[in-house]
C-alpha cells in the first residue's frame, strides 16, 4: 500500500491538523508496517496557483515558456503521487470558513480531465479514482457542525467531500476537532476525541 500524507496548515508545531495527520499515519503504519509513505507539506513547499498560461498550455504562444514547462513537470509529480496512493491522509484546517489556499492549489493540480475524471458522459461527469480511501483531518476554531448556528458558514469539509466525490471516491472518512479556540480544556477534549476516532479506523 502507498499512503500519501498531505499537510496544509501554516502553524507548524502549533497545528492541530498536523498532529492529527501524524497520529493517523502512525496508526495506519502500525497496522501495516510495510506501507510506503509519501509526504507533501504544502505550507513549507507551496504549489503555484493556476495561471492563465497554465490553463492555455496547449497554445503555441506558451508551450515553449521554460517557467511554464517547469511548472507542468512539477504538476505531473503531484498528480502521479495522488494516482499512486491507495490511501490519502489530508490535514485541512479551516481558514475563513474554508480550506487553506495552499490545499486548494494542490486540489487544482489533481482535478485533471481524462486523468481523475471524465469530462463528458451520458450521465454527466464521471470520477476515475474511486479505488482510493481519503481520510480528512478537519480542524476548526469554532463550532460548525450540522446542529450549530454557524453550520451554513462551513465550506471546508463540505467542499472536500464534493471534490473527492466528483473524482469518484466513495470511501471518505473525516476526523474532526472543532471548538479549538474555546480554551485549553475544550482544545484538549477535542484532540482526545480525535485519538478515539483514529483508533476506530
**Residue set of the binding site for FMN:** 9, 15-17, 94-97, 139-142
Residues 6+ apart with CB under 8 A from 4: 38, 40, 81, 82, 84, 85, 87, 88, 89
- Can you list the positions of beta strands (E) in the chain? 2-7, 36-41, 87-93, 117-118, 126-127, 133-139, 171-177
Angstrom CA distances, 168 to 39, 58, 62, 70, 174, stand at 23, 27, 32, 29, 17
28-62 CB burial, b ≥16 within 10 A, e <16: beeeeeeeeeeebbbbeebbeeeeebbeebeeeeb
Summarize the annotated binding site as residue ranges: 9, 15-17, 94-97, 139-142
- Decide: 166 and 117 in contact? Cβ < 8 Å: yes
Give the total residue count for the chain.
Answer: 201
Amino acid at each position: 500500500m502507498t499512503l500519501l500524507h498531505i499537510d496544509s496548515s501554516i502553524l507548524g508545531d502549533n497545528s492541530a491538523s498536523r498532529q492529527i495527520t501524524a497520529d493517523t499515519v502512525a496508526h495506519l503504519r502500525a497496522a501495516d508496517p510495510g506501507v510506503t509513505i509519501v509526504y507533501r507539506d504544502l505550507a513549507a513547499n507551496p504549489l503555484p496557483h493556476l495561471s492563465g498560461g497554465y490553463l492555455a498550455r496547449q497554445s503555441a504562444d506558451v508551450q515553449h515558456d521554460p517557467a511554464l514547462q517547469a511548472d507542468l513537470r512539477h504538476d505531473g509529480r503531484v498528480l502521479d503521487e495522488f494516482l499512486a496512493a491507495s490511501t490519502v491522509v489530508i490535514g485541512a484546517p479551516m481558514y475563513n470558513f474554508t480550506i487553506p489556499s495552499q490545499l486548494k492549489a494542490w486540489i487544482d493540480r489533481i482535478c485533471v480531465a481524462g486523468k481523475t475524471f471524465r469530462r463528458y458522459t451520458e450521465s454527466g461527469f464521471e470520477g476515475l479514482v474511486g479505488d482510493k480511501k481519503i481520510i480528512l483531518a478537519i480542524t476548526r476554531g469554532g463550532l460548525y457542525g450540522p446542529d450549530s448556528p454557524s453550520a451554513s458558514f462551513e465550506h471546508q469539509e463540505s467542499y472536500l467531500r464534493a471534490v473527492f466525490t466528483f473524482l469518484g471516491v466513495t470511501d471518505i472518512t473525516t476526523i474532526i476537532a472543532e471548538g479549538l479556540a474555546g480554551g485549553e480544556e475544550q482544545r484538549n477534549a477535542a484532540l482526545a476525541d480525535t485519538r478515539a476516532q483514529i483508533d476506530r479506523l
